[in-house]
Structure 1
């Protein structure tokens, strides 16, 4: 049995504070389709879902064709906003760079991503923060059903060749924790993102800062720096 461990991160609301870019891109997308703007709370509530599912929740009155236009408009807008902002767009949360460096320095610990972003959106973001190559497996919405379906996590485990018991999933939303539970992976919920702590009911642990996150990862996976 391998001694490898896999730490899987959500992106928006977990690694990066992308709410400003998400809200701005959503505003541009809805404006482009001459639609009334959804309220901020509703937009942040769908962060983590695949875009088609998210748009169906935000604009249930639209048919499939118009929702598809809305999805494409959002993708274009978000990509443009991130490129305009560079490394200042969707900043990493405090302590995240140090945590990634610390985890990356442990021989048997590998890092992965499971995100509702598209491949293009994730690539743009990782490039902006100099994180290209940091993660050995990157699972995106292009290739899987939307969270909380566990397909992303199954694929991540297969990529690395570890069992669910040797992995953790870290995220800020109920979708992340529900996905982790469905895959049989312990979930660690973080409170600095977009869902309240009360929504993270399926989390094995809930933490409020990166020091607590590191301690929870080390404890669950039985590793040390």
Structure 2
């Protein structure tokens, strides 16, 4: 029988089940690859909850950690962000064939790193440079952290942010750097600052 996945709300939380086994997926496996959302799975936007679900779906369906790591951002953007859990049935359904078809449409753009990023010799190994037409962006491969470089008239604004579990990034730290200063050093410092962040387990303060 063909593998499929279904999602529904249970006391406000998104519950995801593999069919036909009716086995519930948990977020516990995905943090070994990426650690995005402490609040579990979500759908319908390009944030951390959907990223966590995208990674879990690919990992469960293909049983390949490297494949899940390489493709979950694109899968989130094109598939999980479009899922809805509304209406009378209040559930969604995704077949294995639909996952395969979606991944086939992504192959032309996929590289061996999340979101088209490439390793940089000036950044820690878990950071990537990401191609954007309008600004320089750097992405952490194992957590939903970004560094964005903004070009002002006389200075650079370098911002470390987290997508969090919302649709808009949350600033974590920033630096203002004169144009003649070493902006690459500041980018590297913020990447290392992100790597040093330790998020306490839920319930601890």
Q: Same fold (TM over 0.5)?
A: no
| TM-score when normalising by structure 2 | 0.27
| TM-score when normalising by structure 1 | 0.26
**In proportion to residue count, which structure has more strand?**
2
Q: Which has the higher contact order (CA 8 A, sep 6+)?
A: 1
